Structure 1
């Protein structure tokens, strides 16, 4: 190996007959990689180890040549440990440039709106490339969002970022809230936003649904939200229809039995739901029920609501 390095250096520096031309061609010649590839360079790997990894993955043709080129061009910077993306036919020059200066691969994990702790934890556990245990976190502590990370980042660091993102989003929504809301704190807004998030998946309905609950809170009416009943029964979405026993259950999260807000959130609300409850639609609706199209029918009176319920039941028979 030392003899190889020495001879290649002589060829590059001295430009021996044909040597310079050969070196230049080798430096920029297309490599053997047939399709885009991603490769993790582990911490502590030296030039020969990196060359072996690249050759095994088919990124380069000759590990010895790579090691020699890396040594000769060492003044251009160290080879970094990270996950890198290599394009097809990447030349030796391109490979070394990627290892020294390219942005590492940005992986992504998405926390969808409306999930509970029990649903978010396994999602983070399955995120490839994250390391370490998932630390404990409270219900609705993490903001639903797509988070980027690099191979080797910790789950604890990602949870901390998502926690800080929720704090920021909630503070911004609360600061921009409408006047005279029947909500005493940002925490209460978070609780109500979690209910709105579970009640409707339609963006155009969130502020209207929030307005219904605001109206009911102002009148001292029970919220009567089915998702809170499901949470009381299973700490999350039920895998069965809500039963009469569920509705009658004496539980602090059962908003058919309690008045006002439950003691905590029932899921992680997104930014849109936080904004909906802090700036709800102003209207006189007190009731809503599914309308059979994925949305809801809203009513001002119990009589109107009962008619909407009858239509819904006719559709589901």
Structure 2
């Protein structure tokens, strides 16, 4: 009897030792020597993740990982994305991270007034994104900061940028003031793109919007320099002074030779520029010229404007710019 009891105890101890060994290989410290990022590809299975962990030498054996995961781990699916694995992470904590942890997000920022060709180049230059995209339609992207995951398709990131613009316009358009200069969302974006390019001073946006709204309503030429540049560079900086031949060019954008708005936006305007067009300053101003501080001087009459222009020229002469 005593012999049988001893065998039972020995068997129990052996089983306990096996379980301890089995468990230590799951919950004990792992092979990760330093904090490491690990990418779970889209559509990955637990088996493919285990094989990838072994290939990257983050675990000793994919088979051992899978066996322990099936017995001791959660049955939840793994998520696609990039994850951060801390130094010494156990296999158990790795699996929990892939199933329930936070995916590492990266960010791309599109400043207000960024033309679509630059949006395209910025997304195509991001090495952590994948796939091809076309140059987006001008005015379809809402400038903002957007998160993305390593390996995400560029088309998905661009789609979020364009959805953000649609959503913002759907929210802002019903709040427009009565009797504004445009009667549809598309024209509002086009006018906002001019406001965005004409001033970088936040406090001026509504005033500039009011001035151009007055010109649209009275049928005056808008005479916005950025509309000359757009068909030449697609919104990129010109890098030189505008030529007389370019001022006289007849096309769908040049508001020196075309009455009314351009045929479409000349950049991607931000929220504030759009809001300014939908709620412009009540003003009788029809003219503006730079004031030398980054802002503008506004005038109701051509005589006032000419005096402001002369003052601007005098300032430039003092600075040695003319």
The TM-score, its normalising length taken from structure 1, stands at 0.82
Change in 2 beyond 3 A, CA 1:21/1:190: same
Whether 1:162 and 2:165 are equivalent positions in the alignment is no
Cα deviation, residue 59, structure 1: 4.0
Correspondence for 1:3: none
For residues 34 and 218 of structure 1, the distance between their equivalents in structure 2, rounded to whole angstroms, comes to: 69
For residues 283 and 109 of structure 2, the distance between their equivalents in structure 1, rounded to whole angstroms, comes to: 34
Whether 1:224 and 2:226 are equivalent positions in the alignment is no
Q: Deviations along 1:62-104, whole A, 9 cap, x unmatched? A: 5554333223235532334432222333232211101112233
For residues 202 and 61 of structure 1, the distance between their equivalents in structure 2, rounded to whole angstroms, comes to: 59
Q: Is the 8 A contact 1:135 1:155 kept in 2?
A: no
For residues 26 and 164 of structure 2, the distance between their equivalents in structure 1, rounded to whole angstroms, comes to: 45
Q: Deviations along 1:257-286, whole A, 9 cap, x unmatched? A: 222211111111111111011111223333
Q: Is the 8 A contact 1:54 1:60 kept in 2?
A: yes
Number of equivalent positions: 305
Change in 2 beyond 3 A, CA 1:117/1:21: same
Correspondence for 2:316: 313
For residues 206 and 289 of structure 2, the distance between their equivalents in structure 1, rounded to whole angstroms, comes to: 15
Change in 2 beyond 3 A, CA 1:90/1:241: farther
For residues 47 and 168 of structure 2, the distance between their equivalents in structure 1, rounded to whole angstroms, comes to: 48
CA RMSD of superposed structures (Å): 2.9
Q: Which has the larger radius of gyration?
A: 2
Change in 2 beyond 3 A, CA 1:166/1:79: closer
Cα deviation, residue 190, structure 1: 0.8
Change in 2 beyond 3 A, CA 1:206/1:52: same
For residues 152 and 40 of structure 2, the distance between their equivalents in structure 1, rounded to whole angstroms, comes to: 14
Change in 2 beyond 3 A, CA 1:62/1:279: same
For residues 163 and 13 of structure 2, the distance between their equivalents in structure 1, rounded to whole angstroms, comes to: 57
Whether 1:284 and 2:284 are equivalent positions in the alignment is yes
Where 2:15 maps in the other structure, the secondary structure is coil
Correspondence for 2:269: 269
Correspondence for 1:6: none
The equivalences for 1:54-65 within 5 A come to 54-57=53-56, 59-60=58-59, 63=62, 65=64
Q: Is the 8 A contact 1:135 1:159 kept in 2?
A: no
For residues 202 and 34 of structure 1, the distance between their equivalents in structure 2, rounded to whole angstroms, comes to: 51
The TM-score, its normalising length taken from structure 2, stands at 0.81
For residues 257 and 320 of structure 2, the distance between their equivalents in structure 1, rounded to whole angstroms, comes to: 26
Structure 2 segments unaligned to the other structure (5+ residues): 1-11
Correspondence for 1:233: 232
